[in-house]
């Protein structure tokens, strides 16, 4: 824990910069892998499999990573995540003929471990760095909203960077550029993160991995369904539709996903002002209030696509509205988990929560490949609406 406010701000700044650098490369790598291997002839289910281990190891990493963060300090787990991402990128620099499905799945698994170590460390670090003041609730919401929103804006830029580098520089040159960015971030974090951020006062036991808080457990279940509802159309279905149905180029697909994620990130950063959470403590009722219109939007998009024809403009404008609503809900979730997590060893509860987040992405990734291969984008959107309903039902039990 850092008691001095200027030092806390400095450490928060370094955490944020390291998180930004990682996120930029993570978004670029996802788009590179997706588009390159689609170009190589991979079908929807094979593309989904490329990301299955990435998401699976995210589940494991968030659980174990929270425990490691409480024992070692979040600065060390963040640096470890950056180092693992460097190794994952290096694994993709092999000759193209060596990049089999199994090998790329393994590299993606390592990247998934790295991503969630980095994410858990950054999010937990926010609570550990906020001073104990009377306005902690509003301050915490503002700090985590800014961190999350800016991260997603950079992730969007990463999507564009991945698509553009693939089109203009080729796969292996793009990977080498991303390795350079991560190497700079790793050196900066290694030199700058000096405090034992988030280290628990007592060494947590392995059994402490599982949350004993009813609120944390229910919010984690709601988060699982929430992110499954996004990734069921986001991971495979939409990119394949954009290239196979509408004939978009790689840079255009990367640019669209960049704008979508960046807009989503801006709304996340503004969520404390949009929801009035800057001036009050938000609760589960706020999540439900914003979830209902999102369910309506997704259900209408599914109906229109399935029975109204493949309208590009309706789909893109509908998904833009989806981005805004989903961003507010996600930001509310991110604040609530920090409100309700334990003060000593915060990474244990946050790690458990983001384990559910990763499990939701894993479920959504699997369903994205299956639903598109069997029934197309309309089925993916219908499943998204159903998963959102399950998320709201899980939230209803929260006080």
Residue 205 lies in a domain: no
Q: What domain range includes position 329?
A: 5-200+211-395
With 80 as the cut, is the pLDDT of residue 168 above it?
A: yes
Residue 366 lies in a domain: yes
Residue 164 lies in a domain: yes
Residue 41 lies in a domain: yes
pLDDT, mean of residues 300-307: 93
What does the pLDDT read at residue 20?
Answer: 86
Distance in angstroms (rounded) separating the CA atoms of residues 128 and 311 = 47
With 60 as the cut, is the pLDDT of residue 139 above it?
A: yes
What does the pLDDT read at residue 1?
Answer: 44
What does the pLDDT read at residue 175?
Answer: 95
Summarised one tens digit per residue, pLDDT across range 37-59 is 888 888 888 888 888 888 888 88
With 60 as the cut, is the pLDDT of residue 135 above it?
A: no
What does the pLDDT read at residue 212?
Answer: 66
CATH code at position 360: 1.20.1250.20
Summarised one tens digit per residue, pLDDT across range 252-282 is 888 888 889 888 888 888 888 888 755 566 7
Residue 101 lies in a domain: yes
Among 37-51, 225-239, 331-345, 368-382, the least confident range = 331-345
What does the pLDDT read at residue 133?
Answer: 46
Percentage of residues of the chain with pLDDT beyond 70: 83
What does the pLDDT read at residue 230?
Answer: 94
Buried b / exposed e across 304-335, counting CB within 10 Å, b at 16+? bbbeeeeeeeebeebbeebbbbbbbbbbbbbb
Among 245-254, 268-277, 284-293, the least confident range = 268-277
Residue 271 lies in a domain: yes
Distance in angstroms (rounded) separating the CA atoms of residues 376 and 42 = 16
Domain count along the chain: 1
Q: Residue 247's Cα: distance from chain center in Å? A: 28
Residue 260 lies in a domain: yes
With 50 as the cut, is the pLDDT of residue 134 above it?
A: no
**Residue 356 C-beta-side C-alpha neighbours within 13 Å:** 24
Q: Reduced to 3 states, what is the DSSP secondary structure of residue 212? A: coil
- Give the confidence band of 200 by pLDDT, cuts at 50, 70, 90: low
Q: What is the pTM of this model?
A: 0.75
Summarised one tens digit per residue, pLDDT across range 79-105 is 899 999 999 999 999 888 888 889 999
What does the pLDDT read at residue 389?
Answer: 96
Per the structure block, which two tokens stand in for 164? Answer: 């553009």
Residue 30 lies in a domain: yes
Across all residues in the chain, what is the average pLDDT? 83
- For the chain, the residue count is 399
Per the structure block, which two tokens stand in for 309? Answer: 């024809």
């Amino acid at each position: 824990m850092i008691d001095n406010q200027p030092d806390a701000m400095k450490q928060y700044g370094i955490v944020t910069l390291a998180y930004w650098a990682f996120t930029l490369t993570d978004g670029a790598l996802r788009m590179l892998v997706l588009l390159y291997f689609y170009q190589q002839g991979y079908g929807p289910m094979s593309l989904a499999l490329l990301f299955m281990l990435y998401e699976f190891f995210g589940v494991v990493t968030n659980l174990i990573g929270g425990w490691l963060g409480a024992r070692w300090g979040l600065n060390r787990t963040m640096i470890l995540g950056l180092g693992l991402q460097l190794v994952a990128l290096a694994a993709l620099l092999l000759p193209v003929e060596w990049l089999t499905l199994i090998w790329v799945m393994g590299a993606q698994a390592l990247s998934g471990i790295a991503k969630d170590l980095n994410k858990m460390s950054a999010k937990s670090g926010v609570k550990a760095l906020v001073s104990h003041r009377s306005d902690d609730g509003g301050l915490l919401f503002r700090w985590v909203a800014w961190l999350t929103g800016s991260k997603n804006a950079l992730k969007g830029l990463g999507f564009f960077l991945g698509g553009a580098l693939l089109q203009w520089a080729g796969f292996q040159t793009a990977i080498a550029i991303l390795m350079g960015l991560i190497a700079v971030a790793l050196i900066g974090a290694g030199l700058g993160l000096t405090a034992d951020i988030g280290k628990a006062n007592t060494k947590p036991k392995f059994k402490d991995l599982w949350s004993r808080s009813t609120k944390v457990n229910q919010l984690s279940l709601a988060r699982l369904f929430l992110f499954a509802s996004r990734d069921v159309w986001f991971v495979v279905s939409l990119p394949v539709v954009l290239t196979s149905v509408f004939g978009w180029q790689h840079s255009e697909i990367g640019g669209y996903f960049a704008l979508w994620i960046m807009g989503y990130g801006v709304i996340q950063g503004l969520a404390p002002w949009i929801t009035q959470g800057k001036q009050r403590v938000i609760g589960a009722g706020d999540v439900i209030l914003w979830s209902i219109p999102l369910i309506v939007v997704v259900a209408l998009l599914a109906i229109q696509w399935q029975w109204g024809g493949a309208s590009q403009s309706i789909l893109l404008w509908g998904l833009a509205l989806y981005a805004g609503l989903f961003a507010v809900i996600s930001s509310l979730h991110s604040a609530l988990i920090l409100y309700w997590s334990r003060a000593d060893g915060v990474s244990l509860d946050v790690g458990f929560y983001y384990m559910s987040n990763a499990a939701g992405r894993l479920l959504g990734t699997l369903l994205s490949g299956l639903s598109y291969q069997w029934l197309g984008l309309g089925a993916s959107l219908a499943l998204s609406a159903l998963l959102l309903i399950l998320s709201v039902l899980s939230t209803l039990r929260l006080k």
